[in-house]
Chain A
Amino acid sequence: MTLIVVVLLVLFLLFGAPLFIVVGSAALYSFKFGAGLEPAIIVQEIYKLASAPVFVALPLFTFAGYILAESRAPQRLVNISNALVGWLPGGFGIVAIVASSIFTALTGASGVTIIALGGLLLPALLSAKYPEDFSLGLVTTAGSLGILFPPSLPVIIYGLVSGVSVDKLFVAGLIPGILVIVILSSYSIYISFIKGIKSEAVSFKDFLKALREIIWEAPLPFLIVIGIYTGLFTINEAAAVTAFYVFVVEVFIIRDIHLKKIPNIAKESMTMIGSIIVILGVALGFANFLVDQQVPMMIMNFLKKFFHSKYSFLLALNIFLLIVGCTMDIFSATMVVVPLIAPIGNYFGVDPVHLGIIFLVNLSIGYITPPVGTSLFIASFRFNEPVIKLYIVSIPWLLLLLLSLLIITYYPDLSLFLLKYIQVR
C-alpha cells in the first residue's frame, strides 16, 4: 500500500503537481497511517513556522528584489561595474560576473538575473568582441552566482529549515562566494588573452556619471553586508531596512517605478512567497514525522555500510545534490532534502555551517547541469537559442564551478575560518 502511494506521488510530482500538494499528501498519509497522529499537527507545524526567527525577512527581501528587478537598477549596476573593473584584462567578462553575483544576491532568484541582466550583458559582451559561445555560457551561468552573499533568499531558507544561524551562514559563505567569482574571472581573463581582446578603460568623466546614476542604490549592499556582519542588524531588521529603502528610492526619489505599479509587484512577489510558505509548512510537518520514525537514522545505518570516512560521504553527497539541483529549484530542494541530510552530515562529522555552504553551492551548480537544469531553459527562452546549444556552451563554466565546489567541499576552513574572527549570533 505505502509503496503504491509513494510511486503515485512521485509520478504526480514529475508530471507537474504542485510540490506542496505532493509533500502535503505524504504528510497526511504518514500521519494517518504511519504514526496514527492527528493531521491537525501538520497545521500546528505550519503555524509554528510563523515564529521562526527569520520568517519576516522572507517577504520583505522578496518585495525589495522584485522592485529592483522592475527598475532600471540592472543597467546602472552594469555601468558602474564596467567603470570599476572594466579596464582589467578580461574586463567585461568580469563585469558580467560581478554584476550578476550582486544582482542574484539582492533578488534571491536565479531566473530573474538571467532575464533582467542577461539581456543587457549578452549584447555588450558580443560587441566587446567576446566569442559568442563564451558569452552565452556566461549569461546562462549568471544565475548560479552570488547565491552565498547576503541577503540571498536561499541562504535564509536554508537557515529556516536546518536551524543553522543565518548570520553564521552569511559569514561562512563570503570567502567561498568570492572564490567562485575569482575562478570564473580568471577564465574570462584567459579567454581575453587568447582572443586578444583589449579592455577599454572608462574615462573618469564616465565613471563619475555611472557613479552619480547609482548613488542612491550604491549604499544598499554595503548597508546590508556591514549591518549583518557587525551584528548591528538582525536579518529581519536588514530586510526591513532594505525593503523600506528600496521602496522609497525607486518609487519616490529616482521614480523608476510608478506608484501604480506597486500593487502588481506586491501581488507577484507575495504569490511567490506564498507558494514557498505552504511548502515550508507541510515540509516541516512531514519532516517531523520522518524524524519521529527515525528515518534519518535508518538512512544513516544504510550509508554507514558504504561510506567509512567523511570524505567519501561528502563526494557521494556532492553527486546526489547535483542530481537534486538539476531537477528541483533551490527552494524546494532545501525544504525537502535538508531535514534528511542535516542529521546524516552531523554523523559523518561535517560542520553544520559548512554543510549549508556545500549544499547551496551544489544546488546553484545544479541550475546549469544538463539535461534539466532550470537556468538552461530560462536562457534558452530568453536568448532564443536551442537548449542543446546552451548545454554545450555552458560546459566550461560548469567544469569551473565544479572545481570551485571541490575546493569548497574538501577545504572546510575556507568556509569556517572567518567565523573565528567575526562573532555573530
Chain B
Amino acid sequence: MMAKMRKIVDDINNFLEWIESFFIVLFIIVMLFLSFLQVVLRLIFHIGFVWADDLLRHIVLWVGFIGASIATKKNKHINIDIFSRTLPLKIKPFFESILLIFSSFISFLLFLAGVSFTKMEREFMEMSVTLKLPLWILMLIIPIGFLSMSIRFFVNGIFKLWEGMTGGDKR
C-alpha cells in the first residue's frame, strides 16, 4: 500500500523536477547570453539595455529558489552534520524524519510570510520601472519556492518515518 503510494508520489515529484530543470536550463541560457551581450555592448558601443540588469537579478532569484526546491527533494541543503553519524542505524530514520517534518513546518511559516509580503506589495502596486511589470509578480517565486520546499520536506519526512518503521532500506 505504502510502497504503491510512494511510487505515485515519486513519479509526480520527478515530473515536477523535470519541469524545474527545464526552467533552470532556460534561465541559465538567457543569463549566459544576455549578461555577455551586455558586457560587449558596454565595452564596444558604450550602450546597453536598461532592463537587462533588473531582469538578470530577478532571473537569479527565480533560479535560486527553483534550485533550493530541487535541493530539498534531493536532501542537498547545506547543513552542519556532526552528530548524526554517531546515531545507531535503527533510530537514525526517526531522527531524520523529525528534522524533516520540522523543516516542513518552518518552510510553511516562511511561505506564509512570503504570501503576506507579496500581498502587501500587490496593494502598493509598485512597478519595476525598467521591466514594466508589477514587483509582486516578480516576487512570486519566494512564496512558491517555500511552499514547494515545505511539501517536499513533508513528503521526505513521511517516507523516512515509514522506512524507520519497516526497515525500508532493504528495498
Residues of A within 8 A of B (CB): 12-21, 24-25, 28, 38-40, 42-44, 46-47, 49-51, 55-56, 58-60, 63, 232-233, 236-237, 239-241, 243-244, 247, 262-263, 266-267, 270-279, 282, 327-329, 331-332, 372
Count of A-B contacts with CB under 8 A?
A: 197
> A12–B83 Cα gap in the complex (Å)?
10
8 Å CB contact of B84 from A15, A237, A278:
A15
Top 4 nearest A-B pairs (CB, nearest first) are A274-B67, A240-B35, A274-B68, A18-B77
8 Å CB contact of A51 from B57, B107, B109, B116:
B57
Contact, CB under 8 Å: B57 / A55: yes
In B1-53, the 8 Å CB interface with A consists of 21, 24-25, 28, 31-33, 35-36, 38-39, 42-43, 53
In B50-71, the 8 Å CB interface with A consists of 53, 56-58, 60-61, 63-71
Residues of chain B with a CB closer than 8 A to A13's CB? 79-80
With A20-B78, A244-B35: A55-B67 Cβ-Cβ less than 8 Å: no
Contact, CB under 8 Å: A24 / B57: no
8 Å CB contact of A271 from B57, B58, B74:
B74
Contact, CB under 8 Å: A274 / B39: no
8 Å CB contact of B81 from A16, A60, A244:
A16
30 A-B residue pairings within 8 Å (CB atoms): A15-B83, A16-B79, A18-B78, A19-B79, A39-B113, A47-B61, A47-B117, A50-B57, A50-B60, A56-B56, A59-B64, A232-B43, A233-B39, A240-B38, A240-B39, A241-B39, A243-B32, A262-B25, A267-B21, A270-B64, A271-B76, A274-B65, A275-B68, A278-B64, A278-B145, A279-B78, A328-B80, A329-B80, A331-B78, A332-B78
Q: A21-B77, A56-B57, A273-B67 are in contact. List 4 more A-B contacts (CB 8 A).
A: A40-B120, A42-B110, A43-B139, A270-B67
> A43–B116 Cα gap in the complex (Å)?
9
Identify which of A20, A241, A328, A331 gathers the most chain B CB atoms within 10 Å of its CB: A20
> A16–B25 Cα gap in the complex (Å)?
30
With A21-B106, A237-B39: A14-B80 Cβ-Cβ less than 8 Å: yes
Smallest Cβ distance from A373 to chain B, in angstroms?
12
Residues of chain A with a CB closer than 8 A to B93's CB? none
Classify the interface of chain A: helix, strand, loop or mixed: helix
* Nearest B-chain residue to A279, judged by Cβ: B78
> A195–B43 Cα gap in the complex (Å)?
53
Residues of chain B with a CB closer than 8 A to A372's CB? 82
Identify which of B31, B96, B106 gathers the most chain A CB atoms within 10 Å of its CB: B106
Smallest Cβ distance from B113 to chain A, in angstroms?
4
Contact, CB under 8 Å: A275 / B76: yes
Identify which of B42, B43, B60, B66 gathers the most chain A CB atoms within 10 Å of its CB: B60
